[in-house]
C-alpha cells in the first residue's frame, strides 16, 4: 500500500482507568502490544503514538486531579 508510517491512538476500558493513568505503564497494555505487533510485521514502519494521559485517566485529563485541582505531575 506504500505506507511508511502510522499514528496509533489507544482506547482504554473504563475499568483500567485511574487518576494516575497507571495503565499507560503496563508493558502488556493495548498500546504497547499494538506497537510491538506493527513493528514485528513491518520493522521499517514509523510508528507514532499519542502519549497523552487523558485516555488512561479516570478524569479524562492529561494530568492528575487532586483535591479538585489539576496538576501535570504525578502525586
pTM score, whole prediction: 0.76
Q: Provide the residue-wise pLDDT of the chain in tens; the chain has 75 residues.
A: 788 999 999 999 999 999 888 999 999 999 999 999 999 999 999 999 987 888 888 877 777 777 766 565 555
Closest by Cα among 71, 41, 33 to 21: 71
Please tell me the predicted confidence (pLDDT) of residue 9.
93
Please tell me the predicted confidence (pLDDT) of residue 38.
97
Instruction: List, in sequence order, the alpha helices (H) in the chain.
Output: 30-41
Amino acid at each position: 500500500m506504500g505506507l511508511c508510517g502510522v499514528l496509533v491512538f489507544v482506547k482504554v476500558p473504563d475499568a483500567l482507568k485511574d487518576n494516575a493513568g497507571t495503565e499507560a505503564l503496563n508493558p502488556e497494555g493495548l498500546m504497547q502490544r499494538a506497537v510491538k505487533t506493527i513493528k514485528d510485521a513491518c520493522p521499517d514502519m514509523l510508528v507514532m503514538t499519542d502519549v497523552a494521559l487523558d485516555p488512561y485517566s479516570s478524569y479524562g485529563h492529561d494530568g492528575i486531579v487532586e483535591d479538585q485541582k489539576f496538576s501535570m505531575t504525578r502525586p
